[in-house]
Amino acid sequence: MLAWLAACNPVAGGASWERVNPGGGGAFHAIAAGPGGLVLAGSDLSGAYLSRDGGASWRPIGSAQGLATTHVSGVGFDTHDPVVLYLGTEDGLYRSADGGATFVRVLADGYVTDVRFAPSAPNVGYLTHHPAYDVAEGTVYRSDDRGRSWRPVTATGLPAGLHLLELAVDPRDSERVFVLAGEGRFACGETALFASADGGVSWTRVGAELGQIADFALDPDDPDVLYLTTYGDVWDPGYACVADDPNGGHLYRATADAAGWRFTRVSDALGSRNLLVLPGGGRVRVFDLDTKEFFATSNDGASWVRLGGPDDWDPGWSGPGLAHGTSPGGDAKTLFQDPADPDRIYWADGQFVWGGRDGGATVRPLHTEAAGSGWRSRGVDNIVPFELAFDADGRHVYFGLADLGCFASDDHGASFRSCNDPAHTGSWMGHGGNSLALAADPERAGVVWIGQAQELDTRHTLLVSRDYGRSWSPADAGLPGSILSGLSVDPESPADRRTLFVTAGGDVYRSRDDGAGWTRVLACGGCRYTAVRGEQVLAGGEAGLWRSTRGGEAGSRERVGPPEFAGDGAEVFTDNGWRGVAAIRFDPNAVGRVYVAVFGPGRGLYRSNDGGASWTRILPGDFLWDVAIDPRDAGVLYAASSSAFYSGGYDPASRGVLRSTDAGRTWQAFNEGLAWPFARRLAFDRAGTELWVASPGLGYARRGLR
């Protein structure tokens, strides 16, 4: 009990974690710019990201700032005060009154997809609310005290079954508000635009006769003029809500009078688009969701010019055909123009964050920048890290991730390059993939093995590189092609003919020839991780822990450890509900001492002093993923705890990185610099002077040790 209580107290003083990533990589659901150069982006795995310099650099917002959920689905700003910020989440609305340093929840429940305040009356704000993230029952809430409290409005005329995406408030009249309904990642409904003249009490549909509304925007010079686009029959976001539209995709200009809205078709060629309207009269920009191109008119559609497209833009580290996409959160709210400079745009998609200073003629990545031999993050990451490994030369570092696949650093984390193999990552074309198995040779510089696949549930191929991940060769003869994980290299085997172990589809396989050929040595049915040192081999997962004292040979394999090492038999690997042995680590300072991290309720971190025959729990916890032993001092241990894995999710019992200086008797939090207490993998660099962590959502980080 004392060890668990001590874990609540942070380590005094010292350095903090520094994130080291290539940048980008996960789904972004919203982006918006506010006064004073502030930009907010909402992610699906790691909370929000805030920039104070127009997207040049970012910092994450997580539980350290007051959030209790990792999924941010809407972002907003006070129209007059730059220190007041809003985050809509799957767990209500959060408000910051200090520029993002801290957030307080001001609406305690619901899935909030957008929040906007009235420019003419900053006390008045509106948000779009749903009972849950996957329920299309949208309603509009209103605040009259600058976002401190909220109440649902009557909403007469707003149909049931809507998924609400985006709001707009008349800049001159705080009672006049518009809301767009459509489809999102988890729920969808009718695509339609509605307007209210009485603060959301009653609503009328706008442009019902035009077909399915894709986007809309008010004219900043005259709010009695709005523009809207309709879906065409070529656009299919993939969420089964928008059907082929017999009216086709078009751009319309609408003017309001006493009789309602009057519509004029501005263009037949520019529909199914995101929409921006600039001051100056008749200045409209549209973004083609199919071709990813920007078009502009300065004469209300009489003529158009193409501003730019992917062939003109910097794709960052991704490929031109993959870099620029759509957002699963609803595209209408993922293109935003700076309120102080309408030529400055911000755009978030399914993997990245982009920006442009000339209305779309040039678009540059705001998630990554060129550095060293590759790329480095600007602070926007939102990725799922699985494994990390250090090359024998101490300089090269390798990452294995979901979606991003393989990334390598040639300069100890200062910059990164993709090391994906195009032949084995399918539609990612070498610019991404999925890699759960990774190991570097402990003595031979440049030798690294990795598993690669297009998707987690497709065929995995084990590859080997002898030139720091620049080229690859198959090393999977005898493996079944199922999910590969838990790759380990025997450091005591011959350097030119390594013995390796890996799990494939839950069974354990061994190679005695550097990975050239593999043989199944244990039909485990639920082993996911391995560890080997000479003749001592351990393998575990949801099937518990297995041990061999003769290199995996038949007759030497036995199940060891208490019952809580195993799951309940219903687990799906890579799912957040998985339970079982998540890491096995031999102590480099003591023969026979081994540690096992077991993930799941009532489990924790265990130690054996007799090679695995008997076990003692030294740290209880529901979310233990890993342990690292200081190679210079056996009494210094680090544990990794994370409630998030493949799909986010915050639980207060998630502890991040924990540190013990007394061989596991007491533990202290070691999370300074981490926005979320998430830690899945830990590893010392070759010099033993830095500890690195794989943190779900946040990516990778390192911390110097005194």
**pLDDT band of 616, cuts 50, 70, 90:** very high
Lowest mean pLDDT among 238-247, 310-319, 355-364, 584-593: 238-247
Nearest to 322 by CA among 350, 347, 289: 350
Q: In the beta sheet, which residues pair with residue 166?
A: 180
Has residue 390 got a pLDDT over 60? yes
CA distance linking residue 327 with residue 238, whole number of Å: 11
CA count, 13 A, side-chain hemisphere, 145: 6
CA distance linking residue 282 with residue 276, whole number of Å: 11
**Tell me, what's the pLDDT at 478?**
98
Cβ burial of 590 (10 Å; 0-12, 13-18, 19+) is: exposed
**pLDDT band of 332, cuts 50, 70, 90:** confident
CA distance linking residue 92 with residue 102, whole number of Å: 16
What's the Cα-to-Cα distance from 357 to each of 363, 366, 644, rounded to whole Å? 8, 12, 36
Domains of the chain (ranges; CATH) run 25-368 (2.130.10.10), 383-704 (2.130.10.10)
CA distance linking residue 441 with residue 419, whole number of Å: 17
CA distance linking residue 599 with residue 514, whole number of Å: 31
CA distance linking residue 110 with residue 93, whole number of Å: 8
Residues 6+ apart with CB under 8 A from 323: 310, 313, 315, 316, 352, 365
Q: What is the dihedral of CA 265, 213, 347, 289, to 10 degrees?
A: -70
Tokens for 502?
């890996």
Number of neighbours of residue 257 by Cβ within 10 angstroms: 8
- Tell me the average pLDDT across 211-236: 84
CA distance linking residue 681 with residue 31, whole number of Å: 30
293 DSSP assignment: -
CB 112 within 8 A of CB 73: yes
Instruction: Please give the share of the chain, as a percent, with pLDDT higher than 70.
Output: 95
Has residue 211 got a pLDDT over 90? no
CA distance linking residue 145 with residue 124, whole number of Å: 7
CA distance linking residue 92 with residue 530, whole number of Å: 41
CA distance linking residue 200 with residue 181, whole number of Å: 15
Give the global pTM.
0.95
CA distance linking residue 36 with residue 52, whole number of Å: 8
Give the mean pLDDT of the chain.
93
**pLDDT band of 317, cuts 50, 70, 90:** very high
Number of neighbours of residue 32 by Cβ within 10 angstroms: 26
Lowest mean pLDDT among 198-202, 335-339, 398-402, 612-616: 335-339
Per-residue pLDDT of 234-275, as tens digits, reads 445 555 566 656 666 889 999 998 888 999 999 877 766 789
Per-residue pLDDT of 342-353, as tens digits, reads 899 999 999 999
What's the Cα-to-Cα distance from 152 to each of 88, 393, 464, rounded to whole Å? 15, 61, 58
Tokens for 170?
């008349």
**Tell me, what's the pLDDT at 2?**
33
CA distance linking residue 637 with residue 634, whole number of Å: 7
**Cα 684 from chain centre:** 25
**Tell me, what's the pLDDT at 119?**
95
CB 40 within 8 A of CB 29: no
Per-residue pLDDT of 586-600, as tens digits, reads 999 999 999 999 999
What's the Cα-to-Cα distance from 433 to each of 407, 436, 448, 587, rounded to whole Å? 10, 10, 17, 32
User: How far does the chain reach from its first CA to its final CA, in angstroms?
Assistant: 28
Nearest to 364 by CA among 379, 352, 382: 352
CA distance linking residue 580 with residue 358, whole number of Å: 52
**Tell me, what's the pLDDT at 647?**
83
Q: What are the φ and ψ backbone dihedral angles of 347, each rounded to 5 degrees?
A: -145, 130
CA distance linking residue 120 with residue 291, whole number of Å: 37
